[in-house]
Structure 1
């Protein structure tokens, strides 16, 4: 396992450690499956599934405690986002995360104002969850990730760490198609060696380009890279995505809701996601071409 080194100059904090200044909460509401496509709720109803009703009335709860930014469900079963007031174009984002288990969270990039669409970096800290891969919220729901994980338990049934998910028995298997969408995919064992269960883990995200190349690292280990300009996935149209998102967007931290597929296995009652040391560095055009 090789640890990448990074230039740490030029970063500025976007969380002050004591308030939610520069951020605002939004409920987890839904929109079109992809630009110009059907609404998610219509699709779900056609397939006999349900999502929480009136999510706009139940935003997640976000607060700061002892220098830590914490997100949790305010109404059981309902999720939400903490969205940056500022927008970002090409950037490198670094933050530390310590989610409970299970807590399905993540970081959205290039998120639209008043729209659920954006690229998501997954931190699905749950059974069959992907960490460091990608999902397309409102962008044809593409899934691109190198692996998934499950809990590792001791003889008493206590969770003591993570292990590789087994695709044949997985609730949400990582298929060869999901891996093939990536231009770089880490070996799950390198991730497992790097991830510190129950402790703080550094997530680094680099996002560069009009249709960005997005790269992730966990504790210095490169996890995944996705070229959204060449991504091949059903109903994903890069030209339509660029026209819809533009070249700048908000960041958003996620508290997931509970759906029929996972229920409390997606977000446990009382679970929290925790964040600290959130900082960003704008990437200038000359650096992009270097």
Structure 2
């Protein structure tokens, strides 16, 4: 038998890349902070909004929404609550090819998302965090401005199942039969409804992992380590997707952003919560 006599630091350095494949674990995070070997950078310090700004011009969702730090988490809601005025919180720095790890705990009823390559008008690729009736979390769409058609792709959506006291206890899923929403060549991969329901933690923190790479980006998503969807921006046949026109609007890089959807659908006082926001440029 071959024996390896590693120091503690050498052992952690060798172990950290494997743990990087298991996002959201406290052990992995503690190792990363010690060794710095994973290449990820914190985007949120748990105390302030340093490195972030709301949309500097009014966009379709509103003037920015209300963002603050509560108990070490970044929270977003409409401003004022229930008013219909939302917006996005954007990183000051721009990113092109990257991998993002982010923990989220949305209240049921919120309509949010993680925006990728966001421009000043709030246009972007988006990973859904539509945690409401007929919503979904983890699939891929776009946001557009000036009346341009947005792309939405989702093979199924979620509805709530409640207990006798009205508390959320589970989900039922249904195919999205809109021809613009789903076709077998819109995504290169998607999970099953049962896989999604099994991985999502009701009432707790969930880790979303996003990988975005390429001029016409390939966007892959995972929730709690379960692969959810893969979109290939070079080959997707969605009728609402025009890769050249969208590339002209977004370019090769943009802000990472979090959304508070505008309109009256967002319940008054409901929030989406985020923490452990970490990015690695690729």
Give TM class, smaller chain: 0.7 to 0.9
Tell me how far 1:158 sits from its aligned partner.
2.4
Contact between 2:183 and 2:238, CA under 8 Å: does it hold in 1? no
**Corresponding residue for residue 220 of structure 1:** 225
**Corresponding residue for residue 12 of structure 2:** none
**Corresponding residue for residue 139 of structure 2:** 133
**Corresponding residue for residue 107 of structure 2:** 100
Contact between 2:131 and 2:137, CA under 8 Å: does it hold in 1? yes
Contact between 1:82 and 1:253, CA under 8 Å: does it hold in 2? yes
**Corresponding residue for residue 277 of structure 2:** 278
Pairing 1:16–2:45 present: yes
* Alignment deviations for residues 70-126 of structure 1 (CA, whole Å, 9 cap, x no partner): 0011131111110000000110000000000100111000111x2121100001000
* Alignment deviations for residues 143-169 of structure 1 (CA, whole Å, 9 cap, x no partner): 1123211111113332223221x34xx
TM-score in terms of structure 2 length: 0.80
> In structure 2, what is the Cα distance between the partners aligned to 1:174 and 1:96?
30
Aligned counterparts, 1:232-271, within 5 A = 232-258=237-263, 263=264, 266-271=265-270
**Corresponding residue for residue 288 of structure 1:** none
* Alignment deviations for residues 248-289 of structure 1 (CA, whole Å, 9 cap, x no partner): 11111001112xxxx4xx311110000000000111xxxxxx
Pairing 1:66–2:71 present: yes
Instruction: Report the count of equivalent residues.
Output: 242
Moved more, 188-197 or 152-161: 152-161
Contact between 1:28 and 1:81, CA under 8 Å: does it hold in 2? no
Secondary structure in structure 1 of the residue aligned to 2:49: coil
Contact between 1:147 and 1:188, CA under 8 Å: does it hold in 2? yes
Secondary structure in structure 2 of the residue aligned to 1:193: helix
Q: Which runs of 5+ in 2 are unaligned?
A: 1-19, 24-31, 33-37
**Corresponding residue for residue 231 of structure 1:** 236
Tell me how far 1:6 sits from its aligned partner.
5.3
Contact between 2:124 and 2:250, CA under 8 Å: does it hold in 1? yes
Tell me how far 1:236 sits from its aligned partner.
2.8
* Aligned partner (choices 178, 193, 198) of residue 193 of structure 1: 198
Tell me how far 1:130 sits from its aligned partner.
1.4
Larger-Rg structure: 2
Pairing 1:87–2:94 present: yes
Q: Which runs of 5+ in 1 are unaligned?
A: 31-51, 168-172, 284-290
Tell me how far 1:235 sits from its aligned partner.
5.0
> In structure 1, what is the Cα distance between the partners aligned to 2:100 and 2:248?
24
The Cα RMSD (Å) is: 2.0
Secondary structure in structure 1 of the residue aligned to 2:249: helix
